[in-house]
Structure 1
């Protein structure tokens, strides 16, 4: 199943692939030796003469069949007039004139026949791609389960088995989220160039090799080939490659006899092996196709943080996040372990069978014992993988192991409702039962490298103590950088002098993802202060940081940027625009670019981008709401109203356009209509404190103070850490002369805004006020 933004990479279990051929998806062709920036891709077939051992391993790999032309050899599914059905949507799989054909519903909801052009993946499932006249490749919604029949395989199944998927749904197979050109091409083929034409809204996507070949990881090899054939001096750098992965410092993983684990540690390098693999084995967004070995991943891609939609509060994978973000959280990564310590780099297979791979570095006599596991030896006893790498099943049949290598924490399941490996097996027991068992075996003190669960849980539950807990994570030098960056993002909207200080310090963190996270926290600063803080990062060595800096300064007047940094801002701004233009086929990128232009005062350019986003996705709500806000700034409220009503017509259950329409109607002095729209928005998105606050203010203005108070109290129950709601309730209590109630709200508010001197003075006055 193709994944939404920041999940573009998908590498299936694959093997044996085509090499030595170049392709365009629109049926054209190009020379094999694809030129790119003066370097040339020569194809995996060229590498095999000198690297037979590696080539033979690669032929058996998951990568070598990442994508294949559909033929009798490559297609594994049953196309002998087979049928499948999903919530009334039917599919027929058959052969016609030597082609593989699927008859199913099209983008208009009508049944049509589609020819399969490519296969996608191999184990435990295989998907199929259909090419459309505009150059798009789309993934069909039914996949073939390639497992053995005894394991439940050898069947057609729908990738969204529990969800109806009509042709009007954004996730329908003909839509944006199932598009190969954007969602998955980079990680299934070599040297992919998307080739999107924004004027014609067409693709001319090319690749030099249909599968993932040698140069997917090593980069274009023409220089290396010349070096190998004697065309360059023997001492040439990198054996002729333009760049190579940043090497890890030499290390021996010899276990300490006392602990049973290695004691050595080496630092990870940006642009090293793990980041090379993460280019595809990560939930991330791509903003450039200029990646080369040795470049930091954040130069061309933006990996995800530990957000609530993707990860549990303790960092365990929730949605499909592949392996990178999980591995970054591990103690193994912190000590310098890389992917190829466990996996053969060319076959992709483990270097030893199952949990035996762990014994390369960890003494089995120390860990494969009842003292450590609490389980007697035997065929049903858990091993390292089952306890420290619990799996989750995605795409219906595909099990994925969590690579954070964490110590099972059923005690956190009790307090935070996070999953744990113990209850993955002991499904008939409670988390408390598992927690007691672990305590009997290992004592009352819980250990573990990941120590941020309570902070992220508090943030997600909107608890007042979240800020202090997040600050500890953000300042913990031993915490994984991805956790520190996530803590910085969660601190947005929780202001204090200490938060400001931590964000300022984090702008110079060695990890680029922490710097990017810190840049998201400066937008509330006054322009002059923001200009001074952010300007140094406009020349950061990592492009992802530079474009984040440009975005942070987009709304800052040029006079607020130090004179010596203004040229750097223009360069970084150009990079930001180019990064969004790279994904001009996506409405969210056009929307982002429009917002950037709008903050710079380039209203015509902004309007054009918003309209382009709406054209790409007619049901897009964000672009309509943002364009309406642009019209507001130009005094075009009548057009804004029309636009927002169109947004409501395409998405009647969306709260944002109703909230914006309510505000528009207030400006148009149509108060009863405005109040109704604000009410509906607050109901549709009950956890949105801002919607509740605005609705309550409108009720107060309409002479309904009791109802306004009820709405505010209800909102505070959902968001007890919201300063705006607390301040409104405090003011309401003061108007009622309820000193005790006002003092209670004020003291809660001070926890959230400890640096507000006026609030401190008010609390002092309230405490001295005579009691009724």
Structure 2
């Protein structure tokens, strides 16, 4: 993991805001698997609309339950998961031996590893490891002057502490190497925090050898959740797993203290290969090299490239693997543990298993990726690579990178021509000449800068598509270089060089763009992506997750197929649709997944089935459920220091019929981070269910004091105030939400309904018209405009909106009936005149 990242100040997916926390360990709403969207149907007095929403949410379940039970998922390819390894790992016999022991035999690998980034991922701060200037150097940041100095052989920083006052802190550890190095401070309660003033370790000629702040353009004060002393800069959760080997976080929720330990302070051999004691024992016994992995004492062997060759097809000029790729790419899953956007659900990591067995993987979603799958936030390489043609063809990480040095196997673009024809380097392909001409990497792996100075390449390996910049608003490699030119200019050049047919493996961009912009064809486009087995599973899972907002018969069929999909990410996305049902209703559908070979799927199934009456289950089924529930609770308690996990525990307790425990968990979440607004929204909703609306309103008001620009909080407050018969104040809060997040159609729509409910009919229509200009095919807006215009007697406008609604939803028979009725009324009115 890399704590050196930009992190968002708004980690509020449950309230409707986009979660952009860029730590892979803070995946979506929780470190464990759960839906991205809040499923709260907060009524504001429009009974018919609320009923439609509830019916839509229940549609998926009704369609699924009416069918047969989903068959148990087949275990994944044993060659990929090494199914025997968990028995070894759980036996208690394996132990870490340390990299020095490994290198005593594997000396060549050790020579490659020693100077690598992995070997320097973390270290004790001393004269040999600290790169920054601690010779009484100072750095000014929005009125705070930090001073870096040495005393008695130790390194110190004087900077603003938890209360904003200047304090002196000892630097205990270095973090990273190139292009920057961060420094870690240890607190008495066991917390280790990452300073957000970092050292630029690049050469001075490249602008380096200086102190800089990771948030240079905004003031991050001591009361900000992004301040270096706060939760989002906490090493124990955010960073430790991926910068050290054999980490145990050891957080005690009773005392709120950490006792985090590691087996090796940096990323050593066993971080990837697992505990080495059995292998050392085998070596000492002089065992046979021809034995299988278990006989060798290995948890897994990364031998997917062994005996594999790539050859060029003479006609297509495309490389082909000599053998089909494995179902689960052990190497990719291993690297994805840290080089992916994900959150941990278990420290019992087994090298080579599906990443979803120990982590929750973030999918393509708004704020993380661009609609066509290009990286937007810090998503690292795993998700990008798994949507690529390279991954589909069987390429693994070590085809390009040496696994021990982490460097490219060949300089620059020569790594590409290991497999691809050299003709791709010629001007006939690149249409650029000279020493500064772009190479394969420039065009097919566009770079973005994170953490101010850290350049990272997109690993989705895509064909430049400036035409998509015109239609989807995404970036493209052409205008990245030619920044003074337009996307239209670049698209015209591409068409001139390569013809009018647009090529590219990633063809799903229009579907996600439609979903994120509220286009009327979003559901159909997403369903087509989810149903297409030729589409990468990572993308299919992402599309299926997006479909939670679009319940239909087609969506239900996609969910049914997804529940038994070979890829755990797709199974998880399918489960994402079922939270609105009770455990008893879901049992026939979800129970088979309690025995899923992947832990992430099992615990999501356990969450959904929580609360199933014990008297309805056999003894064997009850044991299966309780076992999976224990895994679920363990995953949350592993991350009990995080508000996301406390919130998910609260939702689990609600399903279990334990509202008091749910209330306590939500309150704990807010104690851990008062800025975590989903806990405030959901706690207020729990109070609503208990008839305690006044307490819910108080919770929301307090949260707004801390996060005044969170649209989701204002929206929830508005709904609560309307329920409390404070109509004017409630509608004003709904209006504030719509003002803060105008691209969130639901907020604008509900605000307009609220305006109409207090007699401000013209204002309501005006708000909807503004929203319609940005979302011309949105069904909610058009439906409201039909109703409002009809109520005001403006039948011609109502008919116009209804016809536009029919164009957006041609299969909707109800709309056709409305058009027929309105047409008749308009004609009657004209005849009467």
Question: Normalising by the residue count of structure 2, what TM-score does the alignment of the two structures yield?
Answer: 0.84
RMSD: 2.7
Q: Distance in 1 between matches of 2:257 and 2:401?
A: 39
Q: CA deviation at 1:174?
A: 0.7
Give the 3 Å change call, closer, same or farther, for CA 607–684 of structure 1 in structure 2: same
Q: CA deviation at 1:226?
A: 1.0
Gaps of 5+ in 2: 8-20, 27-88
CA deviation string 1:577-623 (max 9, x = no partner): 22121111111211121122123321011011011111111333322
Q: 1:315 aligns with which of 350, 369, 373?
A: 373
Conserved 8 A contact 2:520-2:779: no
Moved more, 741-750 or 210-219: 741-750
Aligned residues: 747
Q: CA deviation at 1:165?
A: 1.1
Q: CA deviation at 1:751?
A: 6.4
Conserved 8 A contact 1:730-1:742: yes
User: Higher RCO, 1 or 2 (CA under 8 Å, sep at least 6)?
Assistant: 2
Give the 3 Å change call, closer, same or farther, for CA 652–405 of structure 1 in structure 2: closer
2:436 matches 1:350: no
2:24 matches 1:8: yes
Q: Specify the SS of the correspondent of 1:682.
A: helix
CA deviation string 1:488-520 (max 9, x = no partner): 122222233222212221222211111111222
Paired position in structure 1 for 2:97: 42
Conserved 8 A contact 2:158-2:169: yes
Moved more, 587-596 or 514-523: 514-523
**Superposition pairs of residues 586-597 of structure 1, within 5 angstroms:** 586-597=642-653
Paired position in structure 2 for 1:152: 207
Paired position in structure 2 for 1:91: 146
Conserved 8 A contact 1:681-1:691: yes
Conserved 8 A contact 1:271-1:293: no
Q: CA deviation at 1:283?
A: 1.1
Paired position in structure 2 for 1:412: 468
Paired position in structure 1 for 2:223: 168
Q: 1:302 aligns with which of 360, 383, 399?
A: 360
Q: Distance in 2 between matches of 1:552 and 1:691?
A: 28
Q: CA deviation at 1:634?
A: 1.4
Paired position in structure 2 for 1:30: none
Conserved 8 A contact 1:6-1:284: no
Q: Distance in 2 between matches of 1:238 and 1:36?
A: 13
Conserved 8 A contact 2:684-2:697: yes
Moved more, 737-746 or 334-343: 737-746
Q: Specify the SS of the correspondent of 1:656.
A: helix
Paired position in structure 2 for 1:19: none
2:331 matches 1:273: yes
Q: Distance in 2 between matches of 1:208 and 1:532?
A: 44
Q: Distance in 1 between matches of 2:712 and 2:479?
A: 40
Conserved 8 A contact 2:674-2:703: no
Give the 3 Å change call, closer, same or farther, for CA 127–739 of structure 1 in structure 2: same
**Superposition pairs of residues 620-699 of structure 1, within 5 angstroms:** 620-699=676-755
Q: Specify the SS of the correspondent of 1:326.
A: helix
Paired position in structure 2 for 1:255: 312
Paired position in structure 1 for 2:53: none
Q: Distance in 2 between matches of 1:481 and 1:52?
A: 39
Moved more, 200-209 or 430-439: 430-439
Q: Distance in 1 between matches of 2:634 and 2:210?
A: 44
Q: Distance in 1 between matches of 2:123 and 2:476?
A: 39
Q: CA deviation at 1:699?
A: 3.1
Q: Distance in 2 between matches of 1:434 and 1:624?
A: 47
Q: CA deviation at 1:770?
A: 5.2
Q: Distance in 2 between matches of 1:183 and 1:590?
A: 16
Q: Specify the SS of the correspondent of 1:308.
A: coil
Q: Specify the SS of the correspondent of 2:95.
A: strand
Paired position in structure 1 for 2:190: 135
Q: 1:326 aligns with which of 371, 384, 392?
A: 384
Give the 3 Å change call, closer, same or farther, for CA 561–353 of structure 1 in structure 2: farther
Q: Specify the SS of the correspondent of 1:77.
A: coil
Paired position in structure 2 for 1:205: 260
Paired position in structure 2 for 1:219: 274
Paired position in structure 2 for 1:735: 791
Q: CA deviation at 1:263?
A: 2.5
Q: 2:344 aligns with which of 279, 286, 289?
A: 286
Conserved 8 A contact 1:41-1:220: yes
Q: Distance in 1 between matches of 2:676 and 2:23?
A: 20
**Superposition pairs of residues 170-569 of structure 1, within 5 angstroms:** 170-230=225-285, 235=291, 237-241=293-297, 243-245=299-301, 247-248=303-304, 250-264=307-321, 266-270=324-328, 272-364=330-422, 366-376=423-433, 378-523=434-579, 530-554=586-610, 567-569=623-625
Q: Distance in 1 between matches of 2:814 and 2:656?
A: 34
CA deviation string 1:423-447 (max 9, x = no partner): 2222222222222222222111121
Q: Specify the SS of the correspondent of 1:200.
A: coil
Q: CA deviation at 1:725?
A: 3.7
**Superposition pairs of residues 751-762 of structure 1, within 5 angstroms:** 758-762=814-818
Conserved 8 A contact 1:2-1:8: no
Paired position in structure 1 for 2:159: 104
2:624 matches 1:608: no
Conserved 8 A contact 2:6-2:451: no
Gaps of 5+ in 1: 11-33
Conserved 8 A contact 1:58-1:347: yes
Q: Distance in 2 between matches of 1:134 and 1:675?
A: 45
Question: Normalising by the residue count of structure 1, what TM-score does the alignment of the two structures yield?
Answer: 0.91
Q: CA deviation at 1:109?
A: 0.6
Conserved 8 A contact 2:22-2:379: no
Q: Distance in 2 between matches of 1:730 and 1:565?
A: 51
Q: Distance in 2 between matches of 1:246 and 1:95?
A: 44
Conserved 8 A contact 1:532-1:562: no
Q: CA deviation at 1:35?
A: 11
Q: Specify the SS of the correspondent of 2:349.
A: coil
Moved more, 429-438 or 342-351: 429-438
Q: Specify the SS of the correspondent of 1:41.
A: coil
